[in-house]
Amino acid sequence: MKLVLGVLLAIGCGSSSSGGGAGSERPTVADPIGYCARARGVLQRRKRCFAEDASLTMSIAELAELERGAPADPAARRRVAVECAVRLDSMARVPQPDNCPLDATDAELVELSAFLAAWYGERTPAPTTGDAGTDTALLALAHQRDAACACKKLACLSTASAGLVDEIAALPTATPKVALDAAAAIADQVARCKQRLVYGAPR
């Protein structure tokens, strides 16, 4: 069965910097979609310094749309939250204007880093289906994923993950759903590891 595998589009990179800020009504992330509100709030406060910057207005609108359109399904909702978190992380990485520092507390940045580290660090184990051929294939895919995610360079990751999607697509039609779901998750986790190399590990 050929699987349709979604690959998360990550946004933003830059150099590290520390930020600070305070507020009595700052968004929480009990629901991870709160990262959209946090990122939007940072941009809104930045816009007070640079009111003429149209790109800030556009980014604020994009984040608001992501937040409004976030699905209720926890996994899909978390994926949207990750997009907002990556944007917020990218803002924290770039050098901050002296007269308009990033309005984010140290605690918020630590929480953001932990959230993204958990996202990038997820590793779905190969399930046991009882079919020797399927179990061997899943274990090989998991090992391939682990080797790819251990890479520090994109060239290494590309070599380690070569053929992964084709191997998953070649799984027999009769493969149990639990195995197909695990295979799709393994492929997605390789995509996350690539994203982390391209855009940098959480600050």
pLDDT at 4: 28
Q: Give residue 203's pLDDT band: very low, low, confident or very high (50, 70, 90).
A: low
pLDDT at 28: 83
Give, to the nearest 10 degrees, the angle between helix 34-47 and helix 106-121: 140
Give residue-wise pLDDT tens across range 28-47. 888 999 999 999 999 999 99
pLDDT at 5: 31
pLDDT at 147: 96
pLDDT at 15: 30
pLDDT at 2: 34
Give residue-wise pLDDT tens across range 110-169. 999 999 999 999 999 999 999 898 999 999 999 999 999 999 999 999 999 999 989 998
Is 60 exceeded by the pLDDT of residue 19? no
Is 60 exceeded by the pLDDT of residue 10? no
Average pLDDT, the chain: 85
Helix, coil or strand: residue 58? helix
pLDDT at 93: 87
pTM: 0.79
